[in-house]
Amino acid sequence: MTLTAAVVPAAGRGERLGPGAPKALRLLGGVPMLVHAVRALATARSVDLVVVAAPEDGVGDVVALLAEHNLLDASPGVAPSMVVSGGETRQDSVARALVSLPAEVDVVLVHDAARPLVPSTLIDAVSAAVRAGADAVVPGIPVADTIKAVDADGGVVATLDRGALRAIQTPQGFRRTVLTSAHAASDPDAPATDDAGLVEALGVEVLVVPGDEEAFKVTRPIDLVLAEAVLARRRAAGVVS
């Protein structure tokens, strides 16, 4: 039996969202963003286990939070979750979560807690692409703005062809052996901004599949306003509780 596990690094503070609780614990519709993200993963058909990498001093609090929302133990249509101690960086947190996975896991999804409204269809699409033979899969959406490369002084070096550009989202999916090798070979002094970057450094091809507009990342206060609007629309339509 082979399993798919989803890893959620949630040990960071997310300073760009402003002062207050760690970003993953900021409320969205009265519920912490982490809960929304874990629920989306746990209810996706392709996910068998969710692993949250929490702040070292907050593991107990995250366990209690997930238990409060009935996300720790398996139930009909909901995969179980577990919580491990995260590290100083996102990369450290993912590496620690990888070590905790059962031997039966052969596909790993890595998802940002700050993308709380990711649709289950996107989660299943990424997982399916790995199952179909890809070593690494990332969802991406076309870039709408004109993108310019600039030098240290702010001068424009080049205007990039946005038709060839994609804004990359999560979850990102990997064969477990590939992701484990990428983390083992990574340079801690030159961290990548995502796990796909670590895999690319190994020379492994990364496949981009269509992303979803609602899988956006809540980074700034205005993103939280948009997330509240999307959640309100979903609730009005009876899509979420």
Question: To 5 degrees, how large is the angle CA 142–CA 131–CA 210?
Answer: 10
- What length is written for the chain? 241
Q: Return the pLDDT at 241.
A: 53
Report residue 20's pLDDT band, with 50, 70 and 90 as the boundaries: low
In sequence order, what are the beta bridge partners of 4?
A: 107
CA atoms within 13 A on the CB side of 241: 6
pLDDT tens readout for residues 116-165: 999 999 999 999 999 999 999 999 999 999 999 999 999 999 999 999 99
Q: Return the pLDDT at 191.
A: 77
Average pLDDT over residues 21-45: 93
Q: Return the pLDDT at 192.
A: 84
pLDDT tens readout for residues 177-204: 999 999 999 987 777 889 999 999 999 9
Residue 103, Cβ density class (10 Å: 0-12 exposed, 13-18 middle, ≥19 buried): exposed
In the predicted structure, residue 13 carries a pLDDT above the cut 90: no
Q: Return the pLDDT at 14.
A: 55
Report residue 18's pLDDT band, with 50, 70 and 90 as the boundaries: low
Q: Is the peptide bond between 76 and the residue preceding it cis, with omega within 30 degrees of 0?
A: no
Give the three-state DSSP class for 210.
Answer: strand
Structural domains present in the chain? 3-138+165-236 (3.90.550.10)
Average pLDDT over residues 73-86: 96
Rounded Cα distance between 28 and 21, Å, is 13
Rounded Cα distance between 78 and 48, Å, is 8
Rounded Cα distance between 38 and 189, Å, is 30
Alpha helices (H) along the chain? 33-42, 59-68, 90-100, 120-131, 176-185, 195-201, 221-236
